[in-house]
Chain A
Amino acid sequence: MSEKTRSKKGGDKALTANRLTDGVAIFLATDGSWVEDAREARVEGDDAGHAALEAAGAEAEAAGIAVGPYLIDVARDADGAVHPTRNREVIRARGPSTHPHHGKQAEGLSGQEAA
């Protein structure tokens, strides 16, 4: 894990990675699948849950689905939808802020705007 992808200790977290075939940012969902929409991410709030997420990430990496999985800090909005809290991960979840017609934001798969 690099400095850029390190999340804070404890708190609500989701698991993200890049998809092997096209590099798109993906998130581990509650049903165990990998989805492009961060709002559908599985969230865990304790050490055991975080460990379970990381184990699922290692499995997906070994299976050739995901590249470089890591935990990200997340929060839930008023509707209960999950969104990343760090600016870097907000941009990953949406797409480049300079090209609103590119990336997930263009397909309606987006969280809140970058800070």
Chain B
Amino acid sequence: MYRYDEFDATFVHERVEQFRDQVARRLSGELTEEEFKPLRLMNGLYLQLHAYMLRVAIPYGTLSGTQMRRLAHIARTYDKGFGHFTTRQNIQYNWPTLEDAPRILEELAEVEMHAIQTSGNCIRNTTADPYAGAIKDEVEDPRIASEVIRQWSSLHPEFSFLPRKFKIAVTGTTHDRAAVKVHDIGLVIKRNAAGEVGFEVLVGGGQGRTPMIAKTIRDFLPKQYLLSYLEAILRVYNMLGRRDNKYKARIKILVHETGIEELSRLVEAEWESLSRETTVDLPRAEYERIAAYFEPPDLAPAEASSAAFEAAQQEDRDFRHWVRTNVKEHKVDGYAVVDISLKPIGGVPGDATADQMDLVADLAERYSQDELRVTHGQNLVLAHVAKDDLHALFKELAGAGLATANSRLVSDIIACPGLDYCALANARSIPIAQDISRRFDSLDRQFDIGPLEIKISGCINACGHHHVGHIGILGVDRKGTEYYQLTLGGRADENAAIGKILGPAFDADGVVDAVETIVDTYLEERRGPDETFLDAVERLGFQPFKDRLYPQKQAAA
């Protein structure tokens, strides 16, 4: 894992002291809310429905046991004993006080964490594949580029007041687990014909009220030019991005209005002009210094499978099911990548108690090289677990309600905080996720359905990624009543697509029945268990689903 150097540590501690002074001046009345609001937002402190909310950055979703334990301590000491992991691989606390905020940031700084740039029109936390460094077909660990971007983008003077917020995601494999095509910039690490490592650069993806899939602006960017090329894109966006209308200010609108060819020409011209001035590109030695922090752990290869592991699966049915869903192949024989579900049946997606966080910290230290990951699907990952340890790990997780076997199944739902917490929301998201999860609580039924991603947002800002849900659910307010609009066919992987609206919205009770109707229709219409939900939707189109969901409409037609 990356460790702060002296500069990083000094900078973060100084920032805490600045914020402590700003909070004191706000509380004394020296600063008005209008003056203070941009300062607190720069430090991740929002004001929501019931209290302040602090969003803490988890760079590319990677944490040490010590850091996770500190997050647990903060949840226990300054919040109500839990934290909420988000779709941007961060954590949010829903109940901190303004008076405590500087102390919380100080406690974070002590373990090399902060909340800087988790809000505002700046470059946000760069996200990455949660299986980074552990999966077989990876060209390079995406966290190296993510860390390079983190250092470059932190308090970048030119890009601290962009037209809108800016999100970058990186994947090192062709199978995309980082949703790069729905980010402002997506980076796919690849090799060119000569075997050199570089990036496919995608630009202009995003969700919100105008969802768009990113377009490739450069098929292959040699690795050494990463920062100068990003700088060129950001410069063009900063100059041409719209500031007159916040709903049209994201780079996706610029790409759409300018066209990718013209934007590419402008970026290339800016890039060439930049290279004549100076360069922000890292010297090879500095890139390698950062890369050294992400060297793969020294795992002694073992047998691909072990007698103890196989025997445990035979004897323990729950373990066998969990292995089937939540355990993935590691690049080193004898090891596995483990998904820790934060989606217990009927639970709040992404929530973890302080005790659960403490336990996961211990487990990371004991079983996974003192490292864990947060996924954009609001779960956790232990990336380097010996197969011989899996059963012991499973039993410890199960004892804390953390061994739900549902990774990427129908109850592994993404949901934003919605109207239960969020000042922007129109409708609640979490209760819908809970009801759907309860409706599909049978694991046999979930296995039968197969991979199916449901994603729920409580407003059009789409923090719950509903646009890219296989089934997407968008909460809306109609004359004081919550309604839910369904979309179908979205996906966030390398074949990313925006889901399309099925028809009229349902009320809170009706939407759970509607989801079940969609699932039942799929089960009846599919060619067999090998035809996934998405494949069936593609083959069948929307009509069979509409016929079942809106029978009156069909009868009237």
Task: Knowing A21-B99, A24-B50, A102-B95 are in contact, say whether A86-B480 is a contact too (CB < 8 A).
Answer: yes
Residues of A25-56 contacting chain B, CB below 8 A: 25
Q: Are B97 and A88 in contact (CB under 8 A)?
A: no
Interface: A81 (CB within 8 A): no
Contact A61 B33 (CB under 8 A): yes
A57 interface residue per 8 A CB criterion: no
- Report A-chain residues with C-beta under 8 Å of the C-beta of B97: 21-23
Q: What is the CA–CA distance of A105 and B43 in the complex, to the nearest angstrom? A: 30
Cα separation A91 to B27 with both chains bound (whole Å): 27
**Which of these, B27, B98, B480, contacts A23 with CB under 8 Å?**
B98
Chain B 412-451, CB-CB to A under 8 Å as 1, else 0, gives 0000000111011100101100100000000000000000
Knowing A102-B80, A115-B481 are in contact, say whether A96-B420 is a contact too (CB < 8 A): yes
A97→B420 contact, CB < 8 A: yes
User: Is B47 located at the chain interface by the 8 A CB criterion?
Assistant: yes
Q: Contacting B50 at CB < 8 Å: which of A61, A68, A95, A114? A: A95
Residues of B within 8 A of A21 (CB): 27, 97-99
Question: Do the beta carbons of B434 and A18 come within 8 Å of each other?
Answer: no
Whether the pair A96, B480 counts as a contact (CB closer than 8 A) is no
Partner of A98, one of B33, B52, B431, B482: B431
A102 to B420, CA, bound (A): 11
B477 contacts chain A at the CB level, 8 A cutoff: yes
**CB under 8 Å from chain A, chain B span 474-519:** 477, 480-482
Q: Do the beta carbons of B98 and A20 come within 8 Å of each other?
A: yes
Take A67-B47, A87-B477, A92-B50 as given contacts and tell me if A97 and B431 are in contact as well, using a CB distance cutoff of 8 Å: yes
Instruction: Chain B residues near A97: list those with CB within 8 A.
Output: 420, 428, 431
**Can you spell out 29 A-B residue pairs with CB atoms less than 8 angstroms apart?**
A20-B98, A22-B51, A22-B52, A22-B97, A22-B99, A23-B51, A23-B97, A23-B98, A24-B51, A25-B50, A61-B33, A64-B27, A64-B28, A67-B33, A67-B47, A85-B480, A86-B480, A87-B482, A91-B428, A92-B50, A95-B50, A96-B430, A97-B428, A97-B431, A98-B348, A98-B434, A102-B50, A114-B428, A115-B481
Where the two chains meet, the residues of B that have a C-beta atom closer than 8 Å to any C-beta of A are 26-29, 33, 47-52, 80, 94-95, 97-99, 348, 419-421, 423-425, 428, 430-431, 434, 477, 480-482
Question: Interface of A with B (CB < 8 Å)?
Answer: 4, 18, 20-25, 61, 63-64, 67-68, 85-88, 91-92, 95-99, 102-103, 114-115
